[in-house]
Structure 1
């Protein structure tokens, strides 16, 4: 009897080990070959107190963290550009990390980004991978321009409604790993009202709230890139840990920050329970 119990126990352990091993193998194959290619669109309503009524329903396509050269090629962006154009957003914004410390496919990437269209324009900022290693931020800024994007590097523009006397401010900060100039970007503004900020690192929202920003759009965190049930993201980068994913309220303020999970990957070319996402943000009066 004891011998039979021992055999059953060993058989159960073998089956358990096989099941765990199979699950780990499946998760690894999914993370490397499948999930990082499952591009997903997310629609989010963003209620804002100080938004001009004329912009109620204004739609912004937000994407981030392409990381060309790290498991993603310029040609892989074709599906993204097609889907964004099909959505017909009013404006398109990209919140940094165009490359992954390399410049090999910058020309081809520029051609892909040039396909994007929006009546209120396309805007972009730099990310930390755009300003370090082999990346050349000046060339990336020029690539933005060649693709029809307006690079906002410690700059702001006034976005005016085409059919009404209404406007809002769109500002973009240089990356935190380079030369962010808060005063030049946000200080001494003559106009009041809605301010939307493009800042690659989401946790800088705690500083942005001091400059009258209503909504910050960011990337950088990748949503953790690998997520586990009940645990969430396993690894977040510096300045991407407090507001790592989705639409969140900034601490001790009425400001909102939206953090994109991004399109590409970094460190390891894998995603698990965290597919690449791009977003349609619909601005609403609160």
Structure 2
């Protein structure tokens, strides 16, 4: 009489097949996330209707069909070997942006400053502004990749990176440091008021240094913060800024299909992990999902690295 239950040998063979299949799937997913998606750079385009009617004509840009073009880049996490990324970023100059915004985490190596400058190359000849993130100041360190998915804050290393030289190079080429500064300038004929804070994810921010409403004569008021932490976003909104621009989240980095973030690695909700959203009725938030990752977690899944061209138009 035969047993109704599989034999131990058959159970063992089935378990081995299941483990092998899971291992093969895991390896395939890692190779895709590391070798394909990590290098599949894309340009996003969004439209932001915040300017007063008539602004573009007064700026000499014709009617509302000729928007102000802002290129937002962030989170390069650059290594010298990232040649493809450097070429791709440099080619963004062909978009002819009126303003370039860099929201930090440019470096992953003390030798990568020349590579960041090579990537930004021609873009440094255009009006630009920046704030830094913690990974501009301190080198990355090995971490358990699963800790990223836990949403817990990771402590930076204390190995200092050559951020001062990079900052000096940016400024020498004409970009402005918005860190704890209030700036006013013209880009593409549009009057810009801008202010920024140092990285709030690691409590480097001091909003009191820039507090107060932007110049009411400005056509567009922009706040910059590497990490989109709610207390900073609320402060910019209360002061009347039209747009706050951030990076840091990597869009979730390892996502569910259709860029659905599992974690944000900061205080905002997952629906705002990348892209354009309203923070308040009058203040918009744009979060770049960035162009790199930590060298110790070199994967992206359902979250291709990107830069964004924001086309600022007039309100209807």
Q: Which residue of 2 aligns with 1:198?
A: 224
The structure 2 residue matched to 1:235, chosen from 245, 259, 263, is 263
Distance in 1 (alpha carbons) for counterparts of 2:85 and 2:174: 16
The structure 2 residue matched to 1:79, chosen from 71, 84, 87, is 87
Q: Which residue of 1 aligns with 2:308?
A: 279
Tell me, what secondary structure is at the counterpart of 1:29? helix
Distance in 2 (alpha carbons) for counterparts of 1:97 and 1:67: 6
Listed one character per residue, the Cα deviations across residues 91-131 of structure 1 (whole Å, up to 9, x for unaligned) are 1111111113x422213322332332565x12211112123
Instruction: Give 1:153 shift.
Output: 1.6
Give the 5 Å matches for 1:51-200: 53-54=55-56, 56=64, 57-69=67-79, 73=81, 75-100=83-108, 102-116=109-123, 119=126, 121-132=127-138, 133=158, 134-160=160-186, 167-176=191-200, 177=202, 179-187=204-212, 189-193=214-218, 194-200=220-226
Listed one character per residue, the Cα deviations across residues 136-170 of structure 1 (whole Å, up to 9, x for unaligned) are 4433321322454222221232233665xx52212
Instruction: Give 1:64 shift.
Output: 0.3
Deviates further, 216-225 or 201-210 = 201-210
Q: Is the 8 A contact 1:209 1:253 kept in 2?
A: no
Instruction: Give 1:17 shift.
Output: 5.8
Q: Which residue of 2 aligns with 1:42?
A: 44
Q: Is the 8 A contact 1:92 1:118 kept in 2?
A: no
Instruction: Give 1:39 shift.
Output: 0.5
4+ long deviations beyond 6 Å: 2-5, 9-16
What is the number of equivalent residue pairs in this alignment?
Answer: 278
The structure 1 residue matched to 2:283, chosen from 241, 247, 255, is 255
Distance 1:188 1:196, change over 3 A: closer
Distance in 2 (alpha carbons) for counterparts of 1:89 and 1:23: 42
Distance in 2 (alpha carbons) for counterparts of 1:190 and 1:82: 33
Distance in 2 (alpha carbons) for counterparts of 1:158 and 1:236: 31
Distance 1:178 1:99, change over 3 A: farther
Structure-1-length-normalised TM-score? 0.82
Q: Is the 8 A contact 1:95 1:126 kept in 2?
A: yes
Distance in 2 (alpha carbons) for counterparts of 1:6 and 1:159: 77
- Show structure 1 runs of 5+ residues with no match: none
Distance in 2 (alpha carbons) for counterparts of 1:93 and 1:127: 13
Instruction: Give 1:192 shift.
Output: 4.5
- Show structure 2 runs of 5+ residues with no match: 139-157
Distance in 2 (alpha carbons) for counterparts of 1:149 and 1:74: 23
Instruction: Give 1:272 shift.
Output: 0.8
Q: Which residue of 1 aligns with 2:236?
A: 208
